[in-house]
Amino acid sequence: MSVSRISKAMGYIDDELISEAESYKPKSSFVITTIKVAAVAFAACLVIAMIINPQPKPDFTITYTSTTSANAEALYAHEIYDHKVFGDCFPTEFADNYFINGKIYIYDNTLEAEFYNHFNLDTIYLHIFPKKYLPQDEVMGRVLYPQNKNSDITSYTWVDMGEYAAKYTSEKCDLATLEGFDKMINSTK
Amino acid sequence: MLVDDNKIIELFFSRSEKAIAETASKYGKLCLSIAGNILSNTEDSEECVNDTYLTLWNKIPPARPANFMTFICKIVRNLSLKKLEYNRAKRRDSNITVCFSELEEILPDHAISKNFDDEEIGRVISEFLKKEKADARNVFIRKYWYFDSVSDIAKRYKFSESKVKSMLFHTRNKLKKYLIKEGVHI
């Protein structure tokens, strides 16, 4: 039998292929299996860790600290109504004698604003954030009062805004009786 | 200690007979294995390997191979194939005959386009092999370039023999389709 042309043609394959076949060492199936097992085990551990210790939700109970995050977007009052996410959630009217204090901060899909009353020196803090972060035990639409007597706040309430929830917190006043507050929470677009 | 390939080439350039001794020391076993795979005869294989050293002596200089190992392997392979053709009348039962018939299934001589010479077909095969997975590629080259047996390939790469056979089968079929696509097959 003569040497076929295809066999002779094999003699012209690239040098690099020939030298590779001489020095080639396949990846050990043991190593591959071990890597796969380790990857699966790691993924399983990650899932268990997330179930046991879920990702911390934003702590909206601390309502009176101004946002100083470097990543925060700072808007003036007149700019907030054009904001594509929070423009419709922000009140267009405020409780009597309250005015926006400083800038409005937006960070991590959360809005933070302060309203100040020069007469009674009260501050209302507003936080708007995705409803999925709302603590499960919180009640919407009712004025609530902190259990801790040493708390720095007097009252707060949660307002349902569709995909978002808003939390209004007053330092010194009872929101249930605060004049103009109903008008404020119903004034969103 | 084995001498660096560049130093061996320099020995050839300075026409030192030590060049042959160093080549034999470093690559003699490999050359004998390639020739043995093709010829299945120790005497013929040793003759081919000695002819390889002579060819090297005549080619270097002026040639200065970039990859000395591949250069010498190609020489011993070509010389062994020529020797096989010379001996073919009485060598029908050798292992290499089986290898050739497997490759002829991919592309029998009468089906190869006349527009392609052997070198061009080699280039097309190279392109194909570079696209293949490393395991399949190297098994194929061990089989059809070095003419290793399935059991030797299985030992070398620590695969089962059935896995090697299966890889060869699939790579041959894919190569056949590739050659048809590239117009090598008429």
- Phi first, then psi: what are they for B124, rounded to 5°? -65, -40
Residue A111 and residue A33 in one domain: no
Count H helices and E strands in chain B, helices first: 9, 0
Residue bearing tokens 């909206």: A60
Task: Please tell me the distance from the alpha carbon of residue B70 to that of residue B67, in angstroms, as a whole number.
Answer: 6
Residues 13-32 of B with CB under 8 A from A: 30
CATH topology of domain B95-181: Arc Repressor Mutant, subunit A (1.10.10)
Residues from chain A contacting residue B73 (CB–CB below 8 Å): 18, 22
Tell which residue, B116, B173, B94, B127, has the closest CA to residue A3. B94
Q: Which domain holds residue A161?
A: 73-185
B112/A6 Cβ within 8 A = yes
Q: What is the mean pLDDT of residues A94-110?
A: 88
pLDDT at B3 over 80: no
Residue B103 sits at the chain A interface (C-beta within 8 Å): yes
pLDDT at A80 over 60: yes
Subunit contact A4:B104, Cβ cutoff 8 A:
yes
Kindly determine whether residue A5 and residue B121, on different chains, have CB atoms separated by under 8 Å.
yes
Q: Are residues A19 and A104 in the same domain?
A: no
My answer on whether A39 and A94 are in the same domain is no
Q: Where in chain B is the domain with CATH 1.10.10.10?
A: 95-181
Considering only CB atoms, A17 lies closest to which of B92, B103, B129, namely: B129
Q: Is the peptide bond before A54 cis (omega within 30 degrees of 0)?
A: no
> What is the residue-averaged pLDDT of chain B?
85
What confidence tens digit (pLDDT) does each residue in B117-158 have? 888 888 999 999 999 999 999 999 999 888 888 999 999 888
Q: What pLDDT is recorded for position B127? A: 93
In this structure, which CATH number among 3.40.1280.10, 1.10.3720.10, 1.10.1740.10, 3.90.700.10 belongs to the domain B5-90? 1.10.1740.10
Q: pLDDT tens for residues B60-119?
A: 888 888 889 999 999 999 898 888 888 776 655 555 655 667 777 776 666 666 677 888
Residues 6+ apart with CB under 8 A from A96: A178, A179, A180
Tell me the backbone φ, ψ of residue B62, rounded to 5 degrees: -85, -15
Q: Are residues A45 and A98 located together in one domain of the fold?
A: no
Say if residue A46 is in the same domain as residue A129.
no
Alpha helices in chain B (DSSP H): 5-13, 18-39, 42-59, 68-87, 95-106, 118-131, 134-144, 150-157, 161-181
> Which residues on chain B are in Cβ contact (under 8 Å) with A5?
107, 109, 112, 118, 121
Per-residue pLDDT at A65: 46
Please tell me whether residues A41 and A84 are part of one structural domain: no
Q: Is the pLDDT of residue A103 over 70?
A: yes
Measured between beta carbons, which residues in chain A are less than 8 angstroms from residue B182?
Answer: none
What is the spatial distance between Cα B67 and Cα A166, in angstroms, rounded to a whole number? 73
Q: Is residue A59 part of a domain?
A: no
- Select from A7, A32, A33 the residue whose CB has the most chain B CBs within 10 Å, as the one to mutate to test that interface: A7
Shared domain check, A104 and A45: no
pLDDT value, residue B97: 59
Residue A64's pLDDT band (cuts 50, 70, 90): very low
What are φ and ψ of residue B114, in 5° steps? Answer: -70, -15
pLDDT tens, B11-62?
999 998 899 999 999 899 999 999 998 888 888 899 999 999 999 999 988 8
Q: How many domains does chain A have?
A: 2
Cβ within 8 Å, pair B104-A28 = no
* Average pLDDT of every residue of chain A: 82
Which residue from A minimizes the CA distance to B30? A22
Q: What percent of chain A has pLDDT over 90?
A: 20
* Co-location of A87 and A155 in the same domain: yes
Which chain B residues touch A10 with a CB distance below 8 Å?
103, 122, 125, 144-145
Q: What pLDDT is recorded for position A32?
A: 63
Assigned domain for A62 exists: no
- CB of B90 within 8 Å of any CB in chain A? no
Find out whether B180 and B107 touch, Cβ atoms under 8 Å.
no
Contacts of B86 in chain A (CB under 8 A): none
Q: How many CB atoms lie within 10 A of CB B25?
A: 14
State which amino acid sits at residue A187: S
Task: Check pLDDT > 50 for residue A180.
Answer: yes
* Amino acid found at B1: M
Alpha carbon of B120: minimum distance to chain A alpha carbons (Å): 8
Say whether pLDDT at B165 is over 50: yes
